[in-house]
Amino acid sequence: MLNDHKIKILHLSAVKNWGGGENHIENLCSELNEIDPEIENTILCVRNSAFHKKIKNSRFQVESAPLTIKMDLRYAGKILSLSKKQKIDLIHIHDSTALTLAIMATKLGKLPPYVLSKKTSFPIKDRGRTLYKYNHENIKRIFCVSKETQRITSEKIEDPSKLTTIYHGTSLDKKNKHSLDLREEFKIPGSKVLVGTIANHIRAKNLNTWIEMIDYLVNRKKINDFHFVLIGSHTNRTPAYKDKLKKLGLLKQVSITGFIENASALIPQFDISILTSQSEGVPQFIFESFYYKVPVVSTNVGGIPEIIEYDINGMLTNPHEPQSLADKLIALSQDKVLRNKFAERSYKKLIENFTTRKMAEQTLAEYKKVLYGTNGTGN
C-alpha cells in the first residue's frame, strides 16, 4: 500500500553542471505537481552544484549530498536514508552517475523500485559492470528520450519490454522576456544575421564543427553577413576553442557568453538556431526554438530527425560536415518565406506533440504501472 494514498518520488541527479537533463527534472516535477497534488517529489542533487544552486530556494523539496568522487558513499547513503525517512515509493534516476550510486545504495539496504531516464543516444558500453547496472533487477522501466535512443539502448537491455519512449518537450507556461539584449551587449549590427547556439562546451556538442563552419563562411566563402552567439557552460575544452577561433581570425564574428540563467529566453533574439552536435538524445534547445518560432539548422544525430523533417520544418546535415551546415545556413538566411514556414510548422508540431505536460502525463502513467500494475489500478 502506498503512503497515505500519495505517490512519493525521489529524483536523483548526480550532474554538477546545468543542462537539458536538469531542466527536464525541473519541468517534470512542476508538471507532476500541477497534474496531481497527491504526488510528492523530492530532488536529491549534488551539493553546491549548478543545479543545487538554481533550485535550492525554489518551491521544490530539495536535498543534497556531497559528490567529490564518482562513487561517493555519502550520496549513496543519502539515497537510503531519504527513502526510509520519507517512505519513498519510487526512485527516478536521471543520469548514469546517479545510476551507479543508486546501484551502490542497494548494497546498503532495501530500496523501492527504480525507473531510469536515458537522455542521450550514447550506446551502453559492453562492459560487465555497466551491463550489470543497466540490467539491475531494481530497474522496472527505462524512459528513452527518443525512438533512436530506445533502439540503441535495447541492444544491451536483457528485457526490452522495460523500455519506452517519452519525449521531453518544453513548457508552455511562464515564458519571460530576457533582460539581456544580445545585439546591444555584443555590439552586433542590425544588418547581421544573428545565429544562436545554446550548448555546454562538451564533446557531444562538437563545437569544433561549429568553429569550422564559421571558418568556411568567413575565410573561404568571404561571407560576413552573420554573427554567431554561443551560450553555455565553459569546460576544460573552452580554452582550445577560443584559441582556435583566435588563430583563424574569427573573434569578431563570434560572442561566447558562458552560462546564462534562463538562456532559452534569449532565443527570440536569434534569427536562426544552429546545432552542430555529434551525439544527442533530443536537445531542449531545439524544442525551445520551436516554441519561439526560430527556424533550426541541425545535425541529424540521435532523436533530432524524429522532430525535424528535412526541408519540412527545418534543415539537417550529417555530423562533422561544416561546409554543409554553412551552405544550409546561407540558403535559409536568404529565404524569409522558408524561415517563416519552418517556424510555423515547428511550433504546430511542438504544441501537438512535444510539451512538458504530455511528457509528465506519460511519465505518471508509467509510474503507476510500476507501482500498481499494468492498468494503473492494482487490479
Contacts of residue 74, defined as CB under 8 A and 6 or more positions apart, other chains included, come to 65, 66, 67
Q: CATH 3.90.1150.10: does it fit domain 182-353?
A: no
Question: Which residue from 159, 14, 16, 148 is spatially nearest to 93, judged by alpha carbons?
Answer: 14
Same fold, 3-169+355-372 and 182-353: yes
Tell me the CATH class for 3-169+355-372.
alpha beta
- What are the tens digits of pLDDT across the range 245-288? 999 999 999 999 999 988 999 999 999 999 999 999 899 999 99
Question: Which residue from 281, 89, 81, 271 is spatially nearest to 169, judged by alpha carbons?
Answer: 281
CB atoms within 10 A of CB 192: 15
The pTM score is: 0.88
Cβ–Cβ < 8 Å for 90, 82: no
Q: What span, in angstroms and rounded, lies between the C-alpha atoms of 379 and 375?
A: 7
Q: What number is the average pLDDT over the span 329-354? A: 97
Contacts of residue 364, defined as CB under 8 A and 6 or more positions apart, other chains included, come to 32, 35, 36, 39
E-strand spans in 50-177? 61-65, 90-93, 114-118, 139-144, 163-165
- What are the tens digits of pLDDT across the range 93-133? 999 999 999 999 999 999 999 999 999 888 999 999 999 99
**In a 3-state reduction of DSSP, which class is residue 121?**
coil
pLDDT tier for residue 314 given thresholds of 50, 70 and 90? very high
Give the residue extent of every domain in the chain: 3-169+355-372, 182-353
Question: Which residue from 261, 265, 233 is spatially nearest to 54, judged by alpha carbons?
Answer: 261
